[in-house]
Chains A and B, each alone.
Chain A
Amino acid sequence: MSITVPALVQTFDPTWLAIPIFTALTVAEMIAAKMTGRARFEPKDSAASLLMGFGSVVAGIVFGALTGAWVMMVYQARIFDIGFVWWAWIAAFVLDDFLYYWSHRWAHTVRWFWADHVVHHSSQHYNLTTALRQPWFGVFTLKFMWLGSLLALVGFHPAMIGFVSGLNLIYQFWIHTEVIKKCPPWFEAVMNTPSHHRVHHGINARYLDRNYAGVFIVWDKMFGTFQPELDDEDIRYGVVKNLGTYNPLKISLHEWFSIINDMRRAGNWRDAMMYLLAPPGWSPDGSRLTSKEILERWEARQSGGVPESQTGETQAKPAE
């Protein structure tokens, strides 16, 4: 069956249109930071984040043809002909966000996917430039081949998927700020907000691997990964082993290199595959710590237990 693509999605790319809005909001946040002190900026860090955002746009252009062609191919084998009926837009938006939740969750719990996503978490700052700190080599995770194609297989048109995922991305921009403390309770209950997402970027033990939501925080509540922001502890942002560089290429590639080095030094095939597929921080001798192990140590300390001797190195923040 032939499906006519509406002119809206043929000519209108929401993410490109959002760039001037992103710029204006970032400038506004800087001014708010100056006036209220409620946000932190570091010029070199901001420059790195903005260049990462720029690079990700270029990467999207370079690799877009490949991923687009793949999704179109999958769409040819679609199960349903959903087309562009009105309810399909809503369904696509919600289902895309649902898939985002799982994709994001695996991006924190499978090191292969974390190698790409760590880029977004690699700043110790949390401001609107952090939202733009995006990876360049996401195509290497190959997630587009399965998770990114699922909606097309069901029968949603790739142009519609691109459009709603663009809206999802735009929504997630404004939540990367410390300027907004809390939104109205009904909004906090349903939607992802700056407060919820600050938790997600935190490396405090209680905040690791929490709040994976893109737009709707309800997914975290449904699947047991929700953690509200607490008043009794300042949030530390970044990754467990923070970067001491602002070089965008190093930011982009450091975890990939780290995985390759670990796999090369692994004593056997099983360990090599675990370095690739196990949660970040896994090591065969337990000399590094995963998010779960960090939380266990923190809880042991809180309950008065004596933490085990620290002989290892905590590695990447196992948890965007």
Chain B
Amino acid sequence: MLILLIVLLASIVGISLMVLLNRHLGLNTPAVITSLEDARERLDVDQIGFEAGAAAILSDDGKTALVEERQSGRFGLLAARGDTIVIRYLEPGSVRTARMGEGKDIELSLNDFTFAPVRIAIADRTTARQWADRLNSLQA
């Protein structure tokens, strides 16, 4: 039993050291969505046949993008998480809240516990407000 505890404790120490080494080596490059065209291409790859509509926005920091789908009216949401991009398709019922945060950002929470809340940085407050309203219209 003692040996087992020692092994488990040593494992935790080992895990911590490996994560620290990982961080120290700087092996990750933060993901960025370079343009709306990049966002559309990613959505098309993710969901074959995704046809982008007119409404779309890329956040100022390139960390988030929203692209409307032409026929269905739902939105493809792309969000940078570390060095990867995570995609969700927002339909009625998908959005929990889309609040205007400090400054001009939108703080978006989904009804999806596998998707941590995301901050969408939009320079123009009026535009940000319009998008927040649009997202809030997708609440249940």
For A30, the chain B residues whose CB sits under 8 A away are 18, 21-22, 25, 27
Inter-chain contact A33/B27, CB cutoff 8 Å: yes
Of B8, B26, B27, B50, most A-chain CB atoms within 10 Å: B27
How far is it, in angstroms, between the C-alpha of A50 and the C-alpha of B49 when the chains are bound? 36
Q: Which of A156-164, A210-218, A239-247 contacts B (4 or more CB under 8 A)?
A: A239-247
Q: Is B140 an interface residue (CB 8 A)?
A: no
For B7, the chain A residues whose CB sits under 8 A away are 16, 19
> Is chain A's binding surface mostly helix, strand, loop or mixed?
helix
Q: Is A41 an interface residue (CB 8 A)?
A: yes
Inter-chain contact A42/B11, CB cutoff 8 Å: no
Q: Which of A190-198, A224-232, A301-309 contacts B (4 or more CB under 8 A)?
A: A301-309
Inter-chain contact B71/A54, CB cutoff 8 Å: no
Inter-chain contact B28/A42, CB cutoff 8 Å: yes
How far is it, in angstroms, between the C-alpha of A250 and the C-alpha of B26 when the chains are bound? 26
User: How big is chain A's contact interface, by range?
Assistant: 35 or more
Inter-chain contact A310/B50, CB cutoff 8 Å: yes
Partner of B48, one of A19, A50, A297: A297
Q: A27-B18, A244-B79 given as contacts; is B114 within 8 A of A254 (CB)?
A: yes
Inter-chain contact A297/B11, CB cutoff 8 Å: no
For B87, the chain A residues whose CB sits under 8 A away are 242
For B83, the chain A residues whose CB sits under 8 A away are 40, 42
Q: A41-B28, A43-B19, A54-B12 given as contacts; is B113 within 8 A of A301 (CB)?
A: no
Inter-chain contact B8/A58, CB cutoff 8 Å: yes
For A51, the chain B residues whose CB sits under 8 A away are 15
How far is it, in angstroms, between the C-alpha of A61 and the C-alpha of B8 when the chains are bound? 11
Which A265-317 residues have C-beta < 8 A from chain B? Answer: 294, 297-298, 301, 307-311, 313-314
Which B92-119 residues have C-beta < 8 A from chain A? Answer: 112-116, 118
Inter-chain contact B86/A50, CB cutoff 8 Å: no
Quote the shortest CB–CB distance from B20 to chain A (angstroms). 8
A41-B22, A129-B18, A244-B81 given; name 4 further pairs at CB < 8 Å. A30-B21, A40-B83, A244-B115, A310-B49
Name A's B-contacting residues (CB within 8 A): 16, 19, 23, 26-27, 30-31, 33-34, 39-47, 50-51, 54, 57-58, 61, 124-125, 129, 205, 236, 238, 241-245, 250, 254, 257, 294, 297-298, 301, 307-311, 313-314
